[in-house]
Chains A and B, each alone.
Chain A
Amino acid sequence: MDSAVWEKIKDHPCFSEEAHHYFARMHVAVAPACNIQCNYCNRKYDCANESRPGVVSERLTPDQALRKVIGVANEVPQLSVLGIAGPGDACYDWKNTKATFQRVAKEIGDIKLCISTNGLALPDRVAELAEMNVDHVTITINMVDPRIGAKIYPWIFYGNRRYTGVEAATILHERQMSGLEMLTARGILTKINSVMIPGVNDEHLIEVNKWVKERGAFLHNVMPLISDPAHGTHYGLSGQRGPKAMELKALQDRLEGGAKLMRHCRQCRADAVGLLGEDRGQEFTLDRLPDKVTYDASKRETYRAVVARERGDRLAAKSEALGMVKTAGSGKSLLVAVATKGGGRINEHFGHAKEFQVYEASPKGISFVGHRKVEQYCLGGRAEDKSLDGVISTLEGVDIVLCARIGNCPEDRLKEGGIRATEAYGYDYIETAIGALYAAEFGSEPLAATA
């Protein structure tokens, strides 16, 4: 990767898997209006307890959004990115998007601005996005064949009228492709989100990946369809199923070699706050924010200095770990689940983990393959036996769990389920631990782990 691109993504948790250990994003819901209808979206129901794209608890005016961004920046030192990602479309509801970005950029000069769009209105906004230094754009592209598009989009609103069917999907497709090309021409990084809908566009996403790669997309994020009937979406109500985790992984594996894949997406809410995989949005609702806020850069600046140091350390540790895996000289692979609360270290207690990050160590190296969400096993000091069963089944296929602490009881129960767990590498860097573990498992002399 060239250094100019690295400079752009090194603090963006969604565009860089490495950055997601250190940096946090926040979304402000300032653009609720949309110009298309998707079968996986229902605009009528928002819920505080759901975590999925498009869902928000409160919509904000640009002034309220500014207050919230400053409030979060003062308290969350990891904050690096402000995104507008629904509900609605940031490029269509443009007046609000633009006003928000201008206000925030004036107060917090170094925050990265990021939008998510369906692409229909995108070509009209590229020039202004470039002017405002919006360096990261996500376009949701689910098809390049309008006949498939017609099964996903019931209608679009374009040029002052509503279009349906193949005609609607053709317009959307053409606008998406030209928007992507225009962004690439200006050096703005694009991530393509695709929703994997079994039987509708799953095979077709291979074709989508080719098209977007040819047009300069930086990253391709294939996400599973969420289609719970309770959400009231067309797909939810018509019984369209979402893909299983293994089906998603199989498709992602087939796409290797095309446009680079994102595997650390958590399909977060449109008002999420914090590191990926956590949502602190409820701490920063309008009623919890002071009426007047002044930006205080100190926490963010201190944190950045710490990250710069840690990153150097971790990089060195990582290359040492890769060395251990290679010297082990084994052809085998090891699937490792890690409990972490950020910083690239094994620093979360087993019982407190809401997700495990899964890594694969093999002769090819150590790579992040995804995350698995679990129900927190230990709540307020009380352990829930039922949720432990859930954790065990979620961790199916994993060889070993690494965490900062684990009690004897859950450790034994995991063992009965065929999964080993250890706190031996607590607070080490993830790669260091996996390297040492791999070496220990597959024969060669284990080196001392460094942290």
Chain B
Amino acid sequence: MAFKIIASQCTQCGACEFECPSGAIKFKGETYVIDPKKCTECEGTFETQQCASVCPVSKTCVPA
């Protein structure tokens, strides 16, 4: 029950970081990563996964 970011696709805009309701996304080294322990796939909070809904590149924030 977690999402991950495909690093090669990511543009590092950071929109996902501030939309994530669980504080699961952090910038580490060269890219953003999702902490699977914290990621809830937005279940119970929002209808859609916020990271995937705001991400400018399709198929970049995807189920792990």
Using a CB–CB cutoff of 8 Å, the interface residues on chain A facing chain B are 32-35, 37, 43-44, 59, 87-88, 92-93, 95, 157, 160-162
Contacts and interface: CB of A to CB of B under 8 A. Distances in A.
Interface residues of B: mostly helix, strand, loop or mixed? Answer: loop
A43 B48 contact: no
Nearest to A157: B54
Nearest to B52: A162
Given A43-B11, A95-B18, 6 more contacts: A33-B18, A34-B15, A43-B56, A44-B11, A161-B46, A161-B48
Contacts of A88: 13, 15
A87 B12 CA distance: 11
B46 A160 contact: yes
Contact of B57 (A35, A43, A87, A95): A43
B53 interface: yes
Contact of A32 (B9, B13, B46, B50): B13
A33 B14 CA distance: 6
Interface string B50-64: 100110110000000
B44 to A, nearest CB: 13
Contacts, number: 45
B14 A37 contact: no
Contacts of A37: 56
Contacts of B19: 157, 160
Indicate the size class of the contact surface on chain B: 10 to 19
B13 A87 contact: yes
A14 to B, nearest CB: 25
A98 to B, nearest CB: 13
Contacts of B43: none
B19 to A, nearest CB: 8
Interface in B5-50: 9, 11-15, 18-19, 46-48, 50
A60 to B, nearest CB: 13
A161 B48 CA distance: 7
A161 B47 contact: yes
Given A160-B46, A161-B46, A161-B47, A32 B53 contact: no
Interface of B: 9, 11-15, 18-19, 46-48, 50, 53-54, 56-57
Interface residues of A: mostly helix, strand, loop or mixed? Answer: loop
Contacts of A92: 15
A37 B13 CA distance: 13
A162 B19 CA distance: 12
A160 B14 CA distance: 16
A162 B14 contact: no
A63 B28 CA distance: 19
User: Which 8 A-B pairs give the minimum distances between C-beta atoms?
Assistant: A33-B15, A32-B13, A162-B53, A43-B56, A157-B54, A33-B13, A43-B11, A33-B14
Contacts of A59: 12
Contacts of A34: 13, 15, 56
Contacts of A87: 13
Contacts of B54: 33, 35, 157, 162
Chain B CB within 10 Å, residue with most, of A44, A59, A95 = A44
A32 B47 contact: no
B48 A162 contact: yes
A350 to B, nearest CB: 41
Contacts of B14: 32-33, 93
A59 B48 CA distance: 29
A157 B53 contact: yes
A168 B7 CA distance: 28
A88 B13 CA distance: 8
Chain A CB within 10 Å, residue with most, of B15, B47, B56 = B56
Nearest to A33: B15
B41 to A, nearest CB: 14
Nearest to A92: B15
A306 B11 CA distance: 44
A55 to B, nearest CB: 12
A200 to B, nearest CB: 21
A160 B18 contact: no
Nearest to B46: A160
B25 to A, nearest CB: 12
Contacts of A43: 11, 13, 56-57
Chain B CB within 10 Å, residue with most, of A37, A43, A95 = A43
Nearest to B15: A33
A215 B52 CA distance: 35
